[in-house]
């Protein structure tokens, strides 16, 4: 099995901006806008260690590694799909390696997102193993499975990637001005500044090919996300106007991102239609008929109808319970006796513990 879902980790929201959101508090101000208005799904990746934990490889090691593969042939060499039954870190047991290092027919490294995923797969174990151990495992894989110059190119990219992760900490640890932290416009500006800083750092650290391969899709989705958030904050546009502009930005995404985002958008719209059908239905049975017309399978329809019937029954019991409570409250009983009476009424009307919990929550909601 794969240890992580690459698409969920990367395409739905850039990892760096997610870390900024979670770390600085920006996410809490923008979460509602991003999900309900702009219809953006967010996935915040977990990291087992910060980039400050990663050392840089020594120049002597780099020189040695650059000459270790002379005897290997250049024909489309690639790293294996797994580390075998006894990987260097227990958390990798039973998993396939995310990404790969691959050499083309000329023996040169194929630079694509698979390289970054390969690095991340090993570096994610830092904390479980030492940074040196994780880096040595990447080096060993490059030496053992790639010819020259691909192995040396992979290790140069690894050094650049480690340097980038180290330098990106400053951006990732951005702090908001407390006085403006609740201002959506300020939050959006801070996210835009963070993205610009990250792009500048990546351009300074990597060559153009590696920059695009490692971060091109991520940056495209970041910019799309920021654009849709900015559109939702505009007060001069109708809902239809906002939807049209968001759709235009969606159409500008690279093909593979555009397809994923369109599927997400369609799924969201479908779910909204089904929710509206339930809310507008005059009875559980009517809700079931509308859901069937919207393409929901029969088993799901029956489950929804059954649940709605249970909620109807609960609401009726709750109404009876509140009436009994009002009578008890006006009975003139002492507070201690009144509390016992309330508890007895709660248990009488709601024999199941789960229903009693819902009743208590509903009483709080009703003030």
* pLDDT score recorded for residue 366: 57
Helices (H), the chain: 6-10, 15-24, 26-32, 59-65, 113-123, 131-145, 150-167, 169-172, 184-205, 208-233, 239-251, 255-280, 284-293, 298-329, 335-349, 353-365
Considering the entire predicted model, what is its pTM? 0.60
* DSSP string for 263-277: HHHHHHHHHHHHHHH
**What single DSSP character describes residue 58?**
P
310-352 pLDDT tens trace: 888 888 899 999 889 888 888 888 888 888 888 899 889 998 8
Q: What residues pair up with 2 in beta bridges, in sequence order? A: 96
Q: Taking the chain, what is the end-to-end CA distance rounded to the nearest angstrom?
A: 50
Question: Looking only at Cα atoms, what is the longest distance across the chain?
Answer: 96
* pLDDT score recorded for residue 203: 95
Are 72 and 101 in contact by the 8 Å Cβ rule? The answer is no
The pair phi, psi for residue 335, each rounded to 5°, is -60, -40
Domain boundaries, the chain: 6-49+170-253, 56-160, 303-365
Are 147 and 76 in contact by the 8 Å Cβ rule? The answer is no
Residues of the chain with pLDDT under 50: 4-52, 58-74, 367
């Amino acid at each position: 099995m794969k240890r992580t879902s690459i698409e969920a980790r990367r395409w739905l929201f850039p990892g760096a901006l997610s870390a900024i959101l979670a770390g600085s508090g920006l996410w809490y101000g923008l979460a509602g806008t991003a999900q309900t208005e702009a219809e953006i799904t967010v996935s915040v990746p977990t990291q087992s260690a910060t980039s400050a934990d990663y050392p840089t490889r020594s120049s002597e090691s780099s020189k040695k590694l650059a000459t270790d593969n002379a005897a290997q042939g250049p024909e489309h060499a690639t790293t294996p799909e797994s580390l075998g039954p006894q990987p260097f870190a227990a958390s990798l047991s039973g998993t396939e390696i995310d990404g790969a290092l691959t050499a083309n027919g000329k023996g040169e490294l194929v630079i694509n997102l698979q390289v970054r995923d390969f690095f991340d797969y090993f570096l994610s174990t830092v904390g479980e193993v030492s940074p040196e151990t994780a880096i040595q495992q990447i080096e060993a894989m490059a030496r053992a499975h790639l010819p020259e110059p691909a192995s040396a190119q992979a290790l140069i990219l690894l050094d650049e990637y480690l340097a980038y992760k180290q330098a990106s900490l400053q951006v990732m640890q951005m702090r908001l001005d407390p006085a403006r932290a609740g201002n959506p416009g300020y939050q959006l500006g801070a996210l835009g500044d963070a993205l610009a800083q990250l792009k500048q750092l990546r351009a300074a650290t990597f060559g153009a090919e590696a920059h695009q391969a490692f971060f091109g899709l991520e940056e495209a989705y970041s910019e799309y996300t920021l654009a849709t958030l900015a559109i939702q904050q505009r007060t001069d546009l109708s809902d239809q106007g906002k939807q049209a502009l968001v759709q235009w930005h969606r159409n500008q995404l690279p093909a593979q991102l555009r397809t994923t985002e369109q599927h997400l958008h369609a799924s969201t719209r479908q779910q909204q239609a089904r929710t509206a059908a339930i809310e507008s239905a005059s009875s559980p049975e009517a809700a079931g008929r509308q859901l069937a017309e919207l393409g929901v399978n029969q088993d799901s329809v029956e489950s929804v109808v059954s649940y709605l019937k249970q909620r109807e029954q609960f609401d009726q019991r709750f109404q009876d319970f509140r009436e009994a409570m009002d009578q008890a409250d006006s009975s003139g009983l002492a507070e201690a006796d009144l509390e016992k009476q309330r508890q007895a009424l709660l248990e009488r009307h709601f024999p199941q513990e789960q229903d009693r919990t819902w009743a208590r929550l509903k009483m709080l909601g009703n003030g």
